[in-house]
Amino acid sequence: MWAYSRHPIQTEAVSKRINMRRDEADRAFDCVVVGAGVNGLAAARAVARTGARTALLEQFSLHHARGSSHGDSRSFRHYAAPDWMELWREAESLWRELEEETGSELLRRVGVLAHGSDLRTERDSLVSLGVPATPVDANEVRNRFGIRLPSTGDTYLDPTSGFILAARAREAFATSCRTHGVTIIEGAKVTSLKPSPRAITLPTTQHGTFTADIAIITAGAWARDLLAPVGIRLPVYISHETVAYFGTAERAALPVIIDYSTSDSMTGQGIYALPSPSLGLKVAAHHSGVRGEDVPSTTEPDARLVERLTRWVGERFPQVAATPHRIETCLYTVAPDEQLLLFRDEHVVVGSACSGHAFKFAPATGQHLASLALAGPSGAAQVAVKRSWAASTG
């Protein structure tokens, strides 16, 4: 269940209430956000738009490929549960607002095809929530899209879903952050958090020590180790996922496909594919990576999974060359039941974990993180959005 006590984002900066003295090195802020993935960018933007003096610290380069937010595209789809649908509708309006602000197209509604052994309950739930999900058979899918699906099982098409131009979205957030006065600092690895009764200090490796009234931690796979010393223990694990790209850029006209029928011990919750405008067809298996408690020391892809994905592409997409021309990895940070955990503890607000499906919700989660940061400890509520990616597939 998604439990969130809504607090409107206040228009006064936090430091106006606390009246914190600025230091001579000018490293004191109302709010410091740690981690400039999509959720950190969204949170920094939301805080800065209230007038709060905001810094965004990223340990690598701004658009690095070592975490969870890199890549050309991310799917956006409707979930067959009211709590997730509520969060998506909030995010969707904010995506549109960001598009208008930056003059950049960020969402493409190419449709989402879902296939599985029995999707009637999921489809009926979507329809009850106002999503025009319609059943389609294998012949129609082949004729319309050139995609070969098994003749057995259920398939539905949601024409109102599609994919996010992810790289463009991150840049749009960064542009908006700068417009609203966010100080973005790259190569600033925060080594510890040091809370005091009235503020929090954040030492970094190369850029000195920052001080803030509140810190928002959106550090992905690095968040748990950063938070544990201050007594905040995240119940998460880190999953090292493999992604492969096939075909050429013109495949961006294809719909997103989610194939639950491929779910097994190797492919996790199933294989999915979506357009990647500059790279062709992006293919991966959801929650299929090696799990652990630490950030992986290697970025090597899973060769066995690449072979399985290659075979699937050959079966489903006869028009696409079934040899990957690019392979990369990303990190999932996963909480129990794939929750999105957004909460406050004194001078720290935590945005974790994405659980492999939070990119689409970033504008909304950024707003909620800002609301938690500006509400003050007495008004802070915890958000626990819970729903499995495949919970209603049967």
Burial-class residue 251 by CB neighbours within 10 Å (0-12, 13-18, 19+).
buried
In this predicted structure, what is the pLDDT of residue 25? 52
Taking residue 222's Cβ as centre, other Cβ atoms within 10 Å add up to: 21
In this predicted structure, what is the pLDDT of residue 251? 56
> What average pLDDT does range 232-242 have in this prediction?
92
**pLDDT tops 70 at residue 2:** no
What does residue 390 show for φ and ψ, rounded to 5 degrees?
-115, 25
> What average pLDDT does range 14-35 have in this prediction?
63
Find the DSSP H helices in the chain: 14-18, 38-48, 82-102, 120-128, 138-145, 166-179, 223-227, 303-316, 362-375
Question: Tokens representing 62?
Answer: 């701004």
pLDDT in tens, 168-208: 999 999 999 999 999 999 999 999 999 999 999 999 999 99
Looking at the chain, the whole-number percentage of residues with pLDDT higher than 90 is 73
4-13, 269-278, 361-370: which has the minimum mean pLDDT?
A: 4-13
State the average pLDDT for the chain. 87
Q: Parallel, antiparallel, or unpaired for β 73-76 and 348-351?
A: unpaired
**pLDDT tops 70 at residue 29:** yes
Burial-class residue 229 by CB neighbours within 10 Å (0-12, 13-18, 19+).
exposed
Taking residue 304's Cβ as centre, other Cβ atoms within 10 Å add up to: 10
SS3 annotation, 132-183: CCEECCHHHHHHHHCCCCCCCCEEEEECCCEEEEHHHHHHHHHHHHHHCCCE
Please, which pLDDT band fits residue 376 given cuts at 50, 70 and 90?
A: low
Give the residue among 325, 43, 32, 322 at the shortest CA–CA distance from 183: 32
**pLDDT tops 70 at residue 243:** yes
Q: Give the Cα separation of 122 and 385 in Å (integer).
A: 19
Q: Parallel, antiparallel, or unpaired for β 348-351 and 340-345?
A: antiparallel
**pLDDT tops 60 at residue 379:** no
109-113, 181-185, 284-288, 383-387: which has the minimum mean pLDDT?
A: 383-387
In this structure, are residues 302 and 289 in contact, taking their beta carbons and an 8 Å threshold? yes
> What average pLDDT does range 260-272 have in this prediction?
92
**Which domains does the chain possess?**
14-68+168-236+336-385 (3.50.50.60), 95-164+237-334 (3.30.9.10)
Looking at the chain, the whole-number percentage of residues with pLDDT higher than 70 is 87
In this structure, are residues 195 and 212 in contact, taking their beta carbons and an 8 Å threshold? no
In this structure, are residues 91 and 363 in contact, taking their beta carbons and an 8 Å threshold? yes
In this predicted structure, what is the pLDDT of residue 291? 82
Instruction: Name the maximum alpha-carbon separation found in the chain.
Output: 69
Q: Does residue 228 have a cis peptide bond before it, meaning omega lies within 30 degrees of 0?
A: no
Using a cut of 0.85, tell me whether the model's pTM lies above it: yes
> What average pLDDT does range 217-235 have in this prediction?
95
pLDDT in tens, 97-153: 999 999 999 999 999 999 999 999 999 999 999 999 999 999 999 999 999 999 999
